[in-house]
Amino acid sequence: MKLDKDQQDALLQIAWQSLRHGLQYGRPLEPSLDALPDTLAEPAACFVTLHKDGILRGCIGSMEASEPLAKAVAWAAFSAGFRDPRFPSLTQEEMDKLTLEISILSPMQDMPVSSEQDLLSTLRPGIDGLLLEEHWRHAVYLPSVWQQLPAPLDFVRQLKLKGGWPANYWSEDMRAKRFQSETIS
């Protein structure tokens, strides 16, 4: 999904409004789709990432395109600010120190891999986001994480740690999916 500048600005405005709405009412903004371009009413998967003074402050989203993009962004922004279990709820005092990034995800692509080495040889650094899953456990890194973890082995092993697996773990039940994202900030 390619968005023009006005559509990107509208999504950023929705995300910020949802954070302010959350501070005031304790729930996400419900954007009216009637006043938005059709593209923003199309289902899309997205994540919203918050940084405070350049440090991660929250990141929540959805891997599936089940909601209109505008509603998905409003929900993800609110959730990143108030429901990310790694952080306390956002406060009014933090708002001026925040930066916000919206990642709109492409559809997931199965990666038929049988080992970590197989995964490393097909993963595209700087391009692919990665979802690892096994039974009920899963973990995801957006493509932007390559900025902090540029080595594929580090990227994959840190993702496994995030998901609760040992860094060197692999099993025949492990599944990998890749995706790309358009980032708006």
pLDDT in tens, 89-120: 999 999 999 999 999 999 999 999 999 999 99
CA distance 78 to 83: 8
Q: Whole-model pTM?
A: 0.89
Q: 76 is written with which tokens? A: 């993800």
pLDDT in tens, 45-81: 999 999 999 899 999 999 999 999 999 999 999 999 9
CA distance 16 to 10: 10
Domains of the chain, first to last: 5-105 (3.30.700.20), 109-180 (3.30.1490.150)
